[in-house]
Amino acid sequence: MEIYLAGGCFWGLQGYFDLIEGVRKTQVGYANSSIPNPSYEQVCANLTNATEAVHIVYDPAILSLTHLLWRFFDVIDPTALNYQANDIGTQYRNGIYTKNPELLPSIRAFIAQHITPLYTREVVTEVMLLQNFFVAESYHQKYLAKNPYGYCHIDITKALKPLNSKYLH
């Protein structure tokens, strides 16, 4: 199975999901761009409407979509519109994208049932079909593995810990 997740800078999400059991492959890139093959500079200049995202291939026999979504929401703020931590701009919006239209209702139901009740502010996570995905430049791939002290708004070690107890209701 595969899914595309956006939640701020893609370096942190990739580093985090690379540590989750059942994730087989990750690749960072630009989702839902209005232009083909955007560069990082074009995305940052807000010329593309793309969001930084991570393409995740996972084994559903080991990692369910529900557990993957819990993990995602454990490291992002779903009420943050066009930012996560110090990452500000539309390319840092949070979202869940899929090529499979049959997944959309279950993802939306999961958010409505489990995530929305946890917040007093509106949950603004995009949930939509993936329009396109362009692989980011090679220096972005596995960035935190290559630069362990690089900037990251996500505590990737959370991947090695049990989920936050607020999710276990």
- Residue 102 and residue 108 in contact, taking contact as beta carbons nearer than 8 Å: no
Q: Is 44 a catalytic residue?
A: no
Structure tokens at 113: 């049932």
> Residue 23 has what DSSP assignment?
E
Token pair 């329009």 is at which residue? 131
Q: Tell me phi and psi for residue 28, to 5 degrees.
A: -90, 150
- Comparing CA positions, the residue from 38, 22, 15 lying closest to residue 90 is 38
Phi-psi region of 56 (alpha: psi -120 to 50; beta: other; left: phi over 0): beta
Phi, psi dihedrals of residue 64, rounded to the nearest 5°: -75, 160
Catalytic-labelled residue, pool 5, 6, 9, 152: 9
Compute the radius of gyration of the chain from its Cα atoms: 15
Identify the burial level of 120 via C-beta atoms within 10 angstroms of its C-beta, where 0-12 means exposed, 13-18 middle and 19 or more buried: exposed
Place of tokens 């703020």: 77
What residues act catalytically? 9
